[in-house]
Amino acid sequence: MTPALNVEGISVALGGREVLRDVGFSLAPGAFCGLIGANGSGKTTLLRTILGFTAPSAGRVTLGGAVGYVPQKLQLDPDMPIRARDFVELGLNGHRFGFPFPSRARRARVEELLSAVDAKTFADQRIGELSGGQQQRVLIAHALIREPKLLLLDEPLANLDLRAAAEIIALLKRVAAQGVAVLISAHDMNPLLRAMDRIVYLANGRAASGKTQDVVRTEVLSALYGYHIDVIRVHERILVVAGEHGAHGHEHVAAIP
């Protein structure tokens, strides 16, 4: 089975600094993968490299098909007069030139996507007026409408409350079950623990990847960070903490990502 995404030993330099070094992993169709790392660890940079916005200085990215992208937040004016429904439709034909004649088949397809992401009730509202969670759904529908093989999401849970986050995760899980590989970045892995079957963990510009339980381990993460890390499990939550030899040298316990 050809992978939906193959990242082979990529290094990326930004502003003269190497942000990613020799990062490699691959995603099979239907994989649900968390891209986890602290602020500034290079999650967005890795996603941008996969999208082709940033050229790697070494290595290469191979895609198994079309890619859908969900940016963290739309940079738009709340007064922008565009309904959620029309925004989803732009996912289908927004890249095409030519007159936007309405078509019944296209409308039906938009309707299908709107119900798939549970966005029918607010489909006719302006997108700038939607809540963070509602906007996420519309963005996901926009990204899915062209049937991508890979869905990239940059911090989709960042501004959501627990319930909205759980709903988005359940939605993405259904997407993965249809055979779409899902790569979702987050600085906290806990909300994703039940859902994700793979993880790419970024620290120090390098990545550890594989099955979640094989990567989120004291030895693996200590090697990645370059100093001792404790992986602590409490009440089905995982805390990754720097012990007494932490960044500031004095005794403290802090969750790193």
Partner 1 sequence: MMLLQPGFLASVPVQNALLIGAGAALLSGAAGVFTVLRSQSFAGHALADVSSAGGAMAYLLGISPLLGFFSLSVLGALALEVIGTRRAAERDLAAGIVLGAGMGGTALLLYLDVTVKGSAGAAVSVMFGSLFAAPPGLGVAVALGALAGLLGLGLIYRPLLLASLDSELAKADGVNTRLLGTAYLLLLALAVTLSAMAVGAILSTALLIGPAAAALRLAHSPAAAMGLAALLGLFCAWGGVWLAYQSYGWTPGHVWPVSFFITALVLAVYAVASLVRRG
**194, 232, 245, 186: CA torsion to nearest 10:** 10
Chain residues in the site for partner 1 (CB under 8 A): 51, 53, 67-69, 71, 74-77, 79-83, 86-87, 90-91, 93-100, 126, 142
Chain-centroid distance, C-alpha 188: 12
Phi and psi, residue 124, nearest 5°: -100, 5
Considering the complex, what minimum distance in angstroms separates the CB of residue 220 from partner 1? 32
Residue 15 or residue 102: which is nearer to ligand ATP going by CB? 15
Q: Give the residue with the Cβ less far from partner 1, 153 or 168.
A: 153
Amino acid (1-letter code) at residue 230: D
Q: From the list Mg ion, partner 1, ligand ATP, none, which binds 39 (C-beta under 5 to 8 Å, kind-based)?
A: ligand ATP
For residue 189, the surrounding DSSP H or E stretch is none
Q: How far is the CB of 23 from ligand ATP (least distance, A)?
A: 12
- Picked from ligand ATP, partner 1, Mg ion, none, the partner binding residue 187 (CB below 5 to 8 A depending on kind) is ligand ATP
Which of 44, 54, 134, 209: binder of Mg ion (CB under 5 A)?
44
Beta-bridged to residue 70, according to DSSP, are: 153
Question: 146-163: string of b/e by CB count within 10 Å (b at 16+)?
Answer: eebbbbbbbbbbeebeee
For residue 50, the minimal CB distance to partner 1 (Å) is: 10
Instruction: Please answer whether residues 189 and 34 qualify as being in contact, where contact means their C-beta atoms are separated by less than 8 angstroms.
Output: yes
Judged by the rule CB under 6 A, the positions of this chain that interact with ligand ATP are 14-15, 19, 37, 39-45, 187
